[in-house]
Amino acid sequence: MRFTKDHEWVDLVGDIATIGITAYAAEQLGDVVFVELPEAGRALKAGDAMAVVESVKAASDVYAPISGEVTAVNGELGDNPQTVNDQPEQSGWFVQVKVADAHDVDALMDRAAYESFLATL
Amino acid sequence: MRYQPLMPADRAQMLAVIGVDHVDDLFVDVPPVARLAGPVDLPAHASELAVERALGRMAGRNRVAGSGPFFCGAGAYRHHVPASVDHLIQRSEFLTSYTPYQPEIAQGTLQVLFEFQTQVAALLGLPVANASMYDGSTACAEAVLMAARVTRRRKTVLSGGLHPHYGATTHTLAHSAGIEVHRLAAAVDAEAAVIAAIDADTACVVVQTPNVFGSVTDVTAIAEAAHAAGALLVVVTTEAVSLGLLKSPGEMGADIAVAEGQSIGNGLNFGGPYVGLFACTEKLLRQAPGRLCGETVDAEGRRGFVLTLSTREQHIRRDKATSNICTNSGLCALAFSIHMSLLGGAGLATLARLNHARARRTRDALAAIPGVEILTPRFFNEFAVRLPRPAAEVVEALARWDVLAGVPFSRLDPAAGLDDLLLVCATETTTAEDIEALTEALSAEIAA
Amino acid sequence: MSPVNVGRPTRPLDSVDASVPAPRARGLQQEEPLIFDRGGWGKSGVDFETGGEDLSAPDLAGLERAGPVELPGLSEPEALRHYVRLSQKNHAIDLALYPLGSCTMKHNPRLGEKMARLPGFIDIHPLQPQSTVQGALEVMDTLAHWLKTLTGLPAVALSPKAGAQGELCGLLAIRGAHEARGDARSTVLVPTSAHGTNPASAAQAGYQLREIAQTADGRVDLTDLAARLGPDVAAVMVTNPNTCGLFERDVVEIARLTHEAGAYFYCDGANFNAIVGRVRPADLGVDAMHINLHKTFSTPHGGGGPGAGPVVLSAALAPYAPTPWLVHDEAGLRLEEHSRGEAAASQGRICAFHGQMGMYVRALSYMFSHGSDGLRQVAEDAVLNANYIKARLSGVMSAAFPDGPCMHEALFDDAWLEGTEVTTLDFAKAMIDEGFHPMTMYFPLVVHGAMLIEPTETESRRELDRFCDALLRLAAAVRAGDVERFRQAPVHAPLRRLDETLAARRPRLRWTAPAA
């Protein structure tokens, strides 16, 4: 699993990357009440606003950590947005993306690097 | 000064606590060039009596609608409002409270908003209603902006029966946001003409029923055509009382329904403040503008209400908000809700039928005048007539008979080439004597 | 479907349904159900004069609805009880100080209510012949004169329905002025401390937004402003006094830099009440400013409106004001309702009819009552009261900008709560138990845990002391470590804290009939 400074995680299996927000991000947001996801098939460029995650008092854009095409979105979050709080790095995933270039994922932080990054905040 | 509790001694003591000598010392950050040495050139303070005299004199220069025969509508309607409505909205706890951001001490306003949303949703026939907009015209513009967000399309088509002020308002507010606004030529009874203008870039079509000419339309086919093209249907109603008798916009397939709510609970007020009603389908909820009140529970599990889904709004989403609206029309919504609660569905139905009956009676009387042609085939409580002379002239002439005969269409849209067209409205406040006075004056004026 | 109560009672008359919790009444506080829970389906509290009319057969070619709208009705006594009971669950200015910073909750003179209800104002139609409403046009003309004189600007658009619409209207005038000289621009600059309507209005007017940094003393950073100004900037939008309750000392320089870059200076006039009668925005270099009549000129907030947001405009922006325009001609006053003649360059309509007449009358009544001397006193007392609160509380709470005077509101941060486990929210909720409305919290966003207190000029010294004493007692409780009191608060309000997460996760926005 790889991580970004915007507190997203990316888990690459084959050429499909599963993307979500980290436990740290979920904790900072507080109770998540709604997640707006992109439609399947949308082409994402790294850095695009691909989703919005809302708590009661805040709405945050979630940026695509890598480029690729959305192959699946986590429909479960529509009915149970609290999954993002409960299991942010497992069943609280947001989207799956067919990556354009797997090397993009390698360029992200590993867990140790992400944890050192968190320690600086 | 009667509104200022501080006495000179208070001020002196408070300045001492603050640690300055003079109140001017609190304004030191104002650049010297902009400090006014003394009062501006306006009259000094005045007693209640003096203010009543001054404003009473201005009020006395206006012809009061209820003081004689009166047939104006076109987006603002004169109805009887029960005495208890105005009494209740003047209670301090409603009148002098703020937007209910602290729900523990604002349950009164919040429960009213929840009841209001339920009433509006039932009237418009859609599952979601917001806590009010400024008025019908701005609600219409917001509906168009919302349709553009939902469909990610940039074009809207407005029917020729849409109130011209609504069309103009929508044009101003949507155009600046980059939306192409097509207004069809004014037409008495042709709401369905929007169908031909729908294309692949159309976010929504906007139709009105009863429209500005009074025509009532079944918009079902328009809804089908819009949906087939991936566009939304926005239905506008300027006379909320008509909803007591007519099929609701939701029932006919509207995705968004907006209405002017002034007719219920609110006076004419020379055009404002009014209250915009806004409702939509469940699917569109997250893109709705304005405040929403929702049910929840408190820490002890008791039912309560809060403003909710506020991440759509400007104070959180800032430049990405669904609308810039902040203050809306709370007290007018309260008046609407109280009057609606007094009426109930049954009372509203009777009121609507009574309006319809009085308007038909007026139509029959005018139809008998030689030279007057009734143009609106089916109507609720207002209709268009063609006069043998420019309607504006006739209306001015009849005002000298102390009859306010209606609204010349040219006042709303001088470029439409419909100068001979007069919009006539009757409500439950219209009496047989009023109709007789109108008929007599109009016959004489046309014959002259 | 409507649950219609008909037929025989379904349970013995002397039994109580144990499955329904007993309603809780606290003394005079009555629990009040929703109108939909009370029944009354088919009932109406309105009688009609139907004499002689045939109501049975509408002439609508089948477009009539199948039956009445499914809504309950209340008789008049039931309605009075319902709404009076509900009203008693609200805080109000008439009950106690309402220290909401940036909202300006001051006393609402009842004379305004009386005047607005004169038949000659409340019962006139917006489209009556103009010859029959010369008094209404005189109200508009007089209000315009007062607003222009108080601000020093030569024109005013009265019709914006509220402050946010005033902002939009001002920005559209700016767009019009730039486009007319072939200089279309794309960007509006707004300080990070701005109210949310500023960026939202800029976006609605089709502009991109760029933020301006703030200095350590809570003002616009001139260096950052100068760096961001350029040929793409249409307007600089600054609230003055700003949302930190401070006067922008460098406002004249802000205006100069803005004009030098070919942009216009838009002032958010939400806080005009702090300077009315003492400072004319025109003398600061302002090109456009909206005025919230419901703040500075005290038309009632009504639980969230209606307000009114007239916008004053410089000579360069005036041609682009929205219709209608009020003009003087030989017959008297006249409304030009279309973009033609003198209004040819107008931005067009921003609402139906002529704006918020009912609010104009109330505001004018307030202006006449105060006069030029009373309005100046309004600003002085508003600023005096805020500084008095700041002085009394600063020993215990941490002022966000301790140096120098504030204007009409005193801003504290949560540094003084650090390490106490009490948050700004907890502290504010505890104020409810003391009989006060919380102050504005967490706004402006640039101050951590912000608490923004605006007392207004209509509070007596006694009430200010009562308020300060209550806050100081609460602060002492914080220091004493009585954390539970704050976490639980409020306990004396009609309801305890509400579950906002539940409300947002499972939105229930209207009553629905329970499943049969």
Domain boundaries, chain B: 66-80+344-447, 83-339
E strands present in C161-203: 187-191
> How far is Cα C111 from Cα C361, in angstroms, rounded to an integer?
10
Residue of B296, B326, B330 lying closest to C502 (CB–CB):
B296
Confidence of residue C1 (pLDDT cuts 50, 70, 90): very low
Write the DSSP assignment of C88-115 as a string of letters: TTB--TTTS---BTTT------HHHHHH
Beta strand C410-412 with C451-453: parallel, antiparallel or unpaired? antiparallel
Tokens of B283: 């699917």
Please answer whether residues C449 and C417 qualify as being in contact, where contact means their C-beta atoms are separated by less than 8 angstroms.
yes
Task: Give the C window 420-459 contacts with A, CB below 8 Å.
Answer: 442
> Is a pLDDT exceeding 60 seen at residue C287?
yes
The residue to which tokens 């005002």 are assigned: B399
Chain A residues touching B311 at Cβ < 8 A: 33-34, 54-59
> How far is Cα B142 from Cα B313, in angstroms, rounded to an integer?
13
> How far is Cα B323 from Cα B288, in angstroms, rounded to an integer?
8
Residue of B123, B271, B314 lying closest to C200 (CB–CB):
B314
- What average pLDDT does chain C have? 94
> Is a pLDDT exceeding 60 seen at residue A35?
yes
With an 8 Å Cβ cutoff, the interface of chain A facing chain B consists of 33-34, 36, 54-59
Chain B residues touching A59 at Cβ < 8 A: 311, 316-317, 320
**Cβ <8 Å between A54 and C500:** no
Which of C146, C458, C495, C508 to mutate to probe the B interface, most B CBs <10 Å?
Answer: C495
Q: What is the pLDDT of residue A79?
A: 87
> Is a pLDDT exceeding 90 seen at residue C173?
yes
Would you call the peptide bond into C324 cis, given omega within 30 degrees of 0 as the criterion?
yes
Rounded to 5 degrees, what are φ and ψ at C365?
Answer: -60, -40
Average pLDDT over residues C459-478: 97
Q: What is the pLDDT of residue C18?
A: 63
Q: What is the pLDDT of residue C302?
A: 96
> How far is Cα B431 from Cα B437, in angstroms, rounded to an integer?
10
Other beta carbons within 10 angstroms of residue B80's beta carbon come to 14
> How far is Cα B217 from Cα B182, in angstroms, rounded to an integer?
20
The residue type at C22: A
- CA B226, B227, B231, B235 dihedral sign is positive
The closest of C383, C150, C409, C460 to B3, measured between CA atoms, is: C460
Question: Which domains can be identified in chain A, with CATH numbers?
Answer: 2-107 (2.40.50.100)
Task: Give the A window 51-110 contacts with C, CB below 8 Å.
Answer: 54-57, 81-82
Q: ipTM higher than 0.95?
A: yes
> Is a pLDDT exceeding 60 seen at residue C235?
yes
Which of C501, C502, C506 to mutate to probe the A interface, most A CBs <10 Å?
Answer: C501
> How far is Cα B191 from Cα B221, in angstroms, rounded to an integer?
11
Q: What is the pLDDT of residue C404?
A: 95
SS3 string, A6-73, reads CCEEEEEECCEEEEEECHHHHHHHCCEEEEECCCCCCEECCCCEEEEEEECCCEEEEECCCCEEEEEE
**Cβ <8 Å between A82 and C504:** no
Q: What is the pLDDT of residue C4?
A: 43
Domain C111-366 has CATH 3.40.640.10: yes
- SS3 at position B321: coil
Multiple choice CATH, B66-80+344-447, 3.30.200.210, 3.90.1150.10, 3.40.50.300, 1.10.10.10: 3.90.1150.10
If you measure CA to CA, which chain B residue comes closest to A60? B317
**Cβ <8 Å between B286 and A58:** no
Please answer whether residues C183 and C152 qualify as being in contact, where contact means their C-beta atoms are separated by less than 8 angstroms.
no
Alpha carbon distance, N-terminus to C-terminus of chain A: 21
**Cβ <8 Å between C44 and B35:** no
Q: What is the pLDDT of residue C331?
A: 84
C508 shares contact with chain A (CB less than 8 Å): no
B83-339: CATH topology is Aspartate Aminotransferase; domain 2 (3.40.640)
> Is a pLDDT exceeding 50 seen at residue C281?
yes
**Cβ <8 Å between A59 and B317:** yes
Q: What is the pLDDT of residue B254?
A: 98
Share of chain C above pLDDT 70, in %: 95
Beta strand B155-158 with B180-183: parallel, antiparallel or unpaired? parallel
Q: Decide: residue C480, CB within 10 A, 0-12 exposed, 13-18 middle, 19+ buried.
A: exposed
If you measure CA to CA, which chain A residue comes closest to B308? A56
> Is a pLDDT exceeding 90 seen at residue C24?
no
**Cβ <8 Å between C64 and B316:** no
Q: What is the pLDDT of residue C12?
A: 60
Confidence of residue C445 (pLDDT cuts 50, 70, 90): confident
> How far is Cα B431 from Cα B211, in angstroms, rounded to an integer?
24
Sequence ranges of chain C with CATH classification 3.90.1150.10: 372-494
The residue to which tokens 């469909």 are assigned: B151
**b/e C153-168 (16+ beta carbons within 10 angstroms → b):** bebbbbbbbbbbbbbb
Chain C residues touching B270 at Cβ < 8 A: 121, 124-126, 133, 136, 353-354, 357-358
Multiple choice CATH, C372-494, 3.10.129.10, 3.90.1150.10, 3.10.20.30, 3.40.50.300: 3.90.1150.10
The closest of A71, A49, A72 to A61, measured between CA atoms, is: A49
Q: What is the pLDDT of residue C16?
A: 67
Sheet with strand C288-290: strands edge to edge: C155-157, C311-313, C288-290, C264-268, C233-239, C187-191, C208-212
Distance from CA of A15 to the nearest CA of C (A): 34
**Which positions ≥6 away from C462 have C-beta within 8 Å?**
none
The closest of C446, C449, C448, C447 to C438, measured between CA atoms, is: C449
C499 shares contact with chain A (CB less than 8 Å): no
C504 shares contact with chain A (CB less than 8 Å): yes
If you measure CA to CA, which chain C residue comes closest to A34? C505
Sequence ranges of chain C with CATH classification 3.40.640.10: 111-366
Helix axes C163-180, C197-204, angle to 10 degrees: 40
**Cβ <8 Å between B286 and A34:** yes
Element housing C372 (H / E): helix C357-393
The residue type at C387: N
A33 shares contact with chain C (CB less than 8 Å): yes
Element housing C177 (H / E): helix C163-180
Residue of B11, B102, B342 lying closest to C45 (CB–CB):
B342
Q: For residue range B149-177, list pLDDT tens digits in order.
A: 999 999 999 999 999 999 999 999 999 88
B159: left (phi over 0), alpha (psi -120 to 50) or beta: beta
**B237 forms bridges with which residues in the sheet?**
B259
Q: What is the pLDDT of residue C21?
A: 59
Confidence of residue C19 (pLDDT cuts 50, 70, 90): low
Helix axes B432-447, B330-367, angle to 10 degrees: 60
B310 shares contact with chain A (CB less than 8 Å): yes
Q: pLDDT of chain B along its 448 residues, tens only?
A: 999 999 999 999 999 999 999 999 999 999 999 999 999 999 999 999 999 999 999 999 999 999 999 999 999 999 999 999 999 999 999 999 999 999 999 999 999 999 999 999 999 999 999 999 999 999 999 999 999 999 999 999 999 999 999 999 999 999 988 999 999 999 999 999 999 999 999 999 999 999 999 999 999 999 999 999 999 999 999 999 999 999 999 999 999 999 999 999 999 999 999 999 999 999 999 999 999 999 999 999 999 999 999 888 888 888 888 888 888 899 999 999 999 999 999 999 999 999 999 999 999 999 999 999 999 999 999 999 999 999 999 999 999 999 999 999 999 999 999 999 999 999 999 999 999 999 999 999 999 8
Chain B residues touching C383 at Cβ < 8 A: 23, 26-27
Chains touching A by CB (3 or more pairs below 8 Å)? B, C
